[in-house]
């Protein structure tokens, strides 16, 4: 049975209660690395492209472990190093196809981004597959669930605007809140008895 978005966000807040210090630190390090890399003259954007996939994999690994109450450690943020190739390929293909759809129209680009939104979680749970296959399975998993995920994103839109108005400081709290909700959404999909991956 799928869990409602309201229950997902409420459960996320409950699980985060009393644990904000650790997750805010993870969000800070994640943002700090990405921002620092972008400031490197000439090659910053290239380095950012190379590390964004593995770093995002690590961020998802940390928060999926958090949701599953596996006591994630700070070093889990760098788990993507061990699957660097897969994480990089997944990021590269997702970015390419999202940009490609965006060039056509904004809405198809948003739909593509939502379709690929579970890719890293799938890579984490299925270490035997590659980045392209993880994208394919994410599209399968999100079939019939894209609108529900879009509604979940809308719940964070106001918080995102407030984070921007706070000069980005609010992102340190918004990222953990969203990523826990994101991971719980994924858990609700894979635990649903109505879904199976196509072989």
**pLDDT attached to residue 196:** 55
pLDDT band at 107 (very low <50, low <70, confident <90, very high): confident
CB 184 within 8 A of CB 65: no
Mean pLDDT (the chain) is 93
Residue 195 lies in a domain: no
Tokens standing for residue 28: 């800070």
Residue 193 lies in a domain: no
Residue 92 lies in a domain: yes
Residue 196 lies in a domain: no
Residue 180 lies in a domain: yes
Rg (CA), the chain: 16
What is the enclosing helix (H) or strand (E) of 58? Answer: helix 44-67
Higher pLDDT, 129 or 199: 129
Range of the domain at 94: 5-188
Residue 42 lies in a domain: yes
**pLDDT attached to residue 85:** 93
**pLDDT attached to residue 199:** 41
- Least confident segment among 16-25, 97-106, 113-122, 177-186: 97-106
Number of domains composing the chain: 1
The answer to whether residue 197 scores a pLDDT higher than 70 is: no
Residue 177 lies in a domain: yes
* Residue (of 16, 20, 36, 27) closest to 56 by Cα position: 27
Residue 127 lies in a domain: yes
The per-residue pLDDT for range 24-71, each reduced to its tens digit, is: 999 999 999 999 998 999 899 999 999 999 999 999 999 999 999 999
Task: State what percent of residues in the chain have pLDDT above 70.
Answer: 96
**pLDDT attached to residue 101:** 86
The per-residue pLDDT for range 111-158, each reduced to its tens digit, is: 999 999 999 999 999 999 999 999 999 999 999 999 999 999 999 999
């Amino acid at each position: 049975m799928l869990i409602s978005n309201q229950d997902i966000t409420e459960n996320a807040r409950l699980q985060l209660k009393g644990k904000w210090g650790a997750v805010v630190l993870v969000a800070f390090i994640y943002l700090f690395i990405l921002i620092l890399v972008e400031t490197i003259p000439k090659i910053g954007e290239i380095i950012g492209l190379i590390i964004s996939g593995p770093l995002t994999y690590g961020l998802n690994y940390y928060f999926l472990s958090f949701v599953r109450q596996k006591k994630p450690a700070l070093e889990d943020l760098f788990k993507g190093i061990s699957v660097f190739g897969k994480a990089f390929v997944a990021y590269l293909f997702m970015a390419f196809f999202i940009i490609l759809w965006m060039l056509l129209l904004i809405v198809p680009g948003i739909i593509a981004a939502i379709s690929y939104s579970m890719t890293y979680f799938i890579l984490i749970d299925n270490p035997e597959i590659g980045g392209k296959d993880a994208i394919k399975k994410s599209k399968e998993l999100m079939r019939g669930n894209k609108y529900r995920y879009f509604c979940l994103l809308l719940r964070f839109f106001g918080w995102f605007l407030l984070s921007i108005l706070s000069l980005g400081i609010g992102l340190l709290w918004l990222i953990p809140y969203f990523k826990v909700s994101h991971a719980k959404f994924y858990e609700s999909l894979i635990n649903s008895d109505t879904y199976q991956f196509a072989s």
